[in-house]
Structure 1
Amino acid sequence: MTLVDTNVLIDILSMDQTWQLWSTKALRQQSQHGPLLINEIIYAELASRYASQSALDAVVENLDLDFEWLSKPALHIAGRVFSDYRRAGGVRTSILADFFIGAHASAAGIPILTRDTGRYHSYFPDVALITPD
């Protein structure tokens, strides 16, 4: 199983000149190792790009992405990590999407396919990241 970060999906869906090839290849490679997952946070981030839920659901199905809700343990981890972030001087006053995504991967013991490593490396050092070289 692999949790697929929103940025990888946007690369593919927007046909990003810089990242589409890497993201498509990486998604394909990870699909050979088990299910590709998204959660409600990733789904919501993608929703801003589609006029209807049915259009978004068609894209999710076409990319063969499985939907998995965040568990209570993952939500607890997200809240604890956000507390650490605030104590370290973080300025955001609400939990960042990356904290939910990282907590999901941490609680489930699965890797994240992403191009955005900063917060994941800092706040989820136990989570394996699949990133560009």
Structure 2
Amino acid sequence: MTTAVDTNALLAILYDDTHTDASETALRQAYQEGKLVIAPIVYAELAADGHFDTVSELNEFLGDFSLRLGEPSRDALFRAGQQFQRYTSRRPDGLQCPTCGHKQRGVCEACGDDLAPRQHIAADFLIGGHAVVDAESLISFDSGFYETYFPSLTVRPAEDSSHS
């Protein structure tokens, strides 16, 4: 069995946050069931975090958890693109206050187009596409997102948490 790992599960370990124990437990269990992989974008996100000064340091961290770099298949990349297009077509115009819910319309001063929130980026869809096509499950703390766009994907741990 192959389990993909989302960036937020690894950041939880690096920064000893509220998901650290759940992440370590899920990684340990998945390792006992098969192999652990990350998509190249997860590698890049970890490198961009600033925690590692060299490629060797990042590779050592990944090695400590027996994580391999897995190249997404073309089917995985296509699936990611399809779901990203679905997301962008469903995204509402305007902006909404996260505190009171008031909706506002914002307009770009340069071109006059409506401004829209950018909550998820293509990287999230690449991680999901890789996991759903090239693995059997995903370790992530963004299960609500993956359930929406990749409903057949098994996300562990089971509890629903927000994206780190």
Report the equivalent of 1:122. Answer: 148
- Corresponding position of 2:131: 105
* Unpaired runs of at least 5, structure 2: 93-115, 160-164
| Aligned residue-pair number | 132
Give distance in 2, aligned partners of 1:53 and 1:97.
Answer: 20
Q: TM-score, normalised by structure 2?
A: 0.74
Q: Which has the higher helix share?
A: 1
Tell me the residue number matched to 2:40.
40
Q: Where do residues 16-35 of structure 1 align in structure 2 (5 Å cutoff)?
A: 16=17, 18-35=18-35
Tell me how far 1:132 sits from its aligned partner: 4.3
Shift of 1:118: 2.3
- Uncovered stretches (5+) of structure 1, i.e. residues with no partner: none
| Cα distance in 2 between the residues matched to 1:69 and 1:34 | 17
2:89 maps to a residue whose letter is R
Quote the Cα distance in structure 2 between the aligned partners of 1:131 and 1:40. 22
Match of 2:5 in 1: 4
Distance 2:133 2:25 in 1: 26
Q: Deviation per CA, 1:30-78, whole angstroms, max 9, x where unpaired?
A: 1110001111011111112211111111111111101111111111111
Partner SS, residue 68 of structure 2: strand
The answer to whether the Cα contact below 8 Å between 2:37 and 2:70 also exists between their aligned partners in 1 is yes
Q: What amino acid is the match of 1:84?
A: R
**Higher Cα radius of gyration:** 2
Spell out structure 1 runs of 4+ moving beyond 3 A.
Answer: none
Is residue 109–residue 127 contact of structure 1 (8 Å, CA) maintained in 2?
no
Normalising by structure 1, we get a TM-score of 0.90
Q: How far does residue 95 in structure 1 lie from its aligned partner after superposition?
A: 4.5
